Amino acid sequence: MSRVRKSLFPAAGYGTRFLPATKSVPKEMLPVKDRPLIHYGVEEAIDAGLTDVNIILGRGKGAIEDYFDKNYELETELQNKPKKLKLLEPINSLIQKGTFTFRRQGAMRGLGDAIFKAKSMIGDEPFGVVLADDICDNPSGDGVMKQMVDIYEKYQCAIVAVMEVPQEKTESYGVIAGDEVEDGIFRVSNMVEKPKPEEAPSNLAIIGRYILIPEIFDILEKTEPGAGGEIQVTDALQELAKDGKVIAYKFKGKRFDCGSVDGYMEAMNYFYNKK
């Protein structure tokens, strides 16, 4: 059995919901309290043992590469200011624990395409996918990716994290249907990307956390554009689900949709008030 040790961060999107801020700053670099959005996801992945971090970038996303690299000049400047130097500890600790690889997506044809572009970085092993827009926090235990790794180890197939959403919100998500095989764990029988509320198979929506198996690459290569004219990972997963190879897991903890201004403000308040 192969251990999950790689993570993938698709970070090529334009972040149009945050224009004009994201005109010149990657949305993954917008701060939530004192660290950028993507810091939270990378920390969650590394804490789950996924220390091999792979990030798919688009044009103008260079600030992300710089963030995950040591800044010697800054550290030299701050050498005699230990309090300020200490502020770099959270990022320096991630840099020390992880190895980072970056690749450009080129043409942007959707999430499924961004994942497919990582085929050579991932190779023949299971891997976690984190959409940095979604910040998750579980103050009372393991982070969401760690929870999913534990489930992967038991079921040995693709895992998607899900949460209940109001029925009228299904159009913003991939939505699953399945049989509950354990409390909060479903063997997925159907999944639909961004269904209209009346067509949604349930109100269990996929959030930005996945564990995928290498079989997904061959499927993605053949997947036609779906919802929004984009290649959807949900459609590729639906193929795996036909063989019973997808588990949906109702994760423990909170999730903030930082792809929307409301969710971003909520996260900002939450982390500001968190001790």
- Contact residues for ligand G1P (CB under 6 A)? 111, 131, 134, 173-174, 193, 205-208, 232, 234, 259
Residue number, 147 or 232, with CB nearest to ligand G1P: 232
250 sits in which H/E element: strand 246-250
Among 6, 3, 8, 1, residue whose Cα is nearest residue 209: 8
Residue number, 91 or 249, with CB nearest to ligand G1P: 249
Residue number, 91 or 223, with CB nearest to ligand G1P: 223
Least Å distance between CB 240 and ligand G1P? 14
Instruction: Give whole-number Cα distances, 48 to 53, 57, 205, 211, in Å.
Output: 12, 23, 23, 12
Least Å distance between CB 217 and ligand G1P? 17
Residue number, 11 or 207, with CB nearest to ligand G1P: 207
Residue number, 147 or 234, with CB nearest to ligand G1P: 234
One-letter amino acid for residue 177 of the chain: A
Residue nearest to ligand G1P (CB): 174
Least Å distance between CB 275 and ligand G1P? 28
Residue number, 12 or 213, with CB nearest to ligand G1P: 12
Tokens describing residue 166: 């109001």
Among 233, 245, 190, residue whose Cα is nearest residue 208: 233
> How many residues does the structure list for the chain?
275
Least Å distance between CB 167 and ligand G1P? 15
Least Å distance between CB 13 and ligand G1P? 7
Which residues make beta-bridge pairs with 52?
6, 99
Least Å distance between CB 96 and ligand G1P? 29
Contacts of 4 by beta carbon, 8 Å cutoff, 6+ apart: 48, 49, 50, 125, 126, 127, 128, 149, 152, 211
Q: Where are the alpha helices (DSSP H) in the chain?
A: 37-47, 62-67, 72-77, 82-86, 89-97, 111-116, 119-122, 144-155, 215-222, 233-242, 261-273
